[in-house]
Amino acid sequence: MKIILSLMASMACITCIMGQVPHYVFQKKIALPGDGGYDYLYVDQPNHTLYVSHGTVVHAIDLATQTTVGEVKDLQGVHGIAVVNDIKQGFISDGRANSVHVFELQTFKPVADIPLSGKNPDAILYDPYSKKIFAFNHSSNNVSVIDPSLRREVALIELGGSPEFAVSDGKGKIFNNLEDKSQLIVIDSKTMKVENTYQLDPCGGPTGLALDLLHKRLFTVCRENKGMSVVNMDNGKVVTTVPIGAGVDAVAYDPTNKLIYSSNGEGTVTIIQQESADTYRVAQTLSTQPRARTMTLDPVTHNIYLSVAESDPVTRKIKPGTFCVLVYKMQ
């Protein structure tokens, strides 16, 4: 399986070697049961598994076969998923329960529920530098730090605003968007303190966040100005802003092909070519489906995955039996 995936990744990069920009096309739709809301998707590459948050359930999809292989059930309000492969466990932010649910990666069976001091945990990530889980509490403007081995909260960091997506550089720095302040904060994962706060003007309402470690650039997507801000991660300065679609939520970066993907609720993915650390252009506007705003990238196959359901245009209620994951591949 690893050999097949490596060959697929090599073929996907041929267009970049030839100096051409990859073009994305629709591959398939993965239908999933249930009619709840939806939020983050997460790729666990070592185990070739895609996790999809969906109301009170997290679906697990095999990346090779693109079929469902399991579920984590009986939650109250799922948001994000993080994985710690060293201990073979996954961690789910359960917003309505104000807790983080722990499950076994191989069986998807429950291990524990970790109560949090903060309210409505949303974004969640594992920081390999500190070996801690960070659960960002959207309603209480703080982040709960969890020791995954002890399975308990060990610190609470005040943020000064409502957190959205976060990324770790793996070297002791965690970057997090404050949606209501239009700010980017930097957390030192060793001292467990906010060490810097940067204003993201002209960005308004930042949501998704992605990281380019090689060029030390952050990509933050913003709803109010319909733009992706390219930020110097060393000093927090906005280098440039690239236009994207309306209703953005997530963003992903492919370092192999130098592409950034912005998933927009209007029903598009803005695909941006990185020509240099400070030069960017829109390479493709990919049509998807209205309200397909949450997304993740498989860095090996370069497929992008978006979760979505059809909704009533008047009431905006989800139409029963329409929830799915849309798969787009590089052509």
Q: pLDDT (tens digit, 9 = 90+) per residue, 11-27?
A: 444 444 445 677 999 99
**Predicted pLDDT at 316:** 83
- The domains of the chain, with CATH numbers, are 21-36+206-331 (2.130.10.10), 40-199 (2.130.10.10)
**Predicted pLDDT at 22:** 79
Residue located via tokens 């590089």: 330
Region 67-87: mean pLDDT is 97
Question: 4 falls in which pLDDT band (50, 70, 90)?
Answer: very low
Q: What is the DSSP letter of 8?
A: H
Residue located via tokens 């404050």: 178
Region 226-236: mean pLDDT is 98
User: Does 82 or 311 have the greater pLDDT score?
Assistant: 82
**Predicted pLDDT at 19:** 53
Measured in residues, the chain has a length of 331
What is the average pLDDT score of the chain? 94
Region 112-124: mean pLDDT is 98
Q: What is the pLDDT of residues 233-290, one digit of tens each?
A: 999 999 999 999 999 999 999 999 999 999 999 999 999 999 999 999 999 999 999 9
CB atoms within 10 A of CB 209: 23
**Predicted pLDDT at 10:** 46
Q: Which amino acid is at 156?
A: L
CB 282 within 8 A of CB 271: yes
d(CA 310, CA 320) in angstroms, rounded, equals 8
Q: Is the pLDDT of residue 119 over 80?
A: yes
CB 172 within 8 A of CB 190: yes
Region 319-331: mean pLDDT is 96
**Predicted pLDDT at 15:** 44
Identify which of 39, 118, 56, 47 has the alpha carbon closest to the alpha carbon of residue 84.
47
Region 89-99: mean pLDDT is 98
Share of the chain above pLDDT 70, in %: 94
**Predicted pLDDT at 314:** 84
Region 159-163: mean pLDDT is 97
**Predicted pLDDT at 180:** 97
Question: 46 falls in which pLDDT band (50, 70, 90)?
Answer: very high
Region 120-145: mean pLDDT is 98
Share of the chain above pLDDT 90, in %: 91
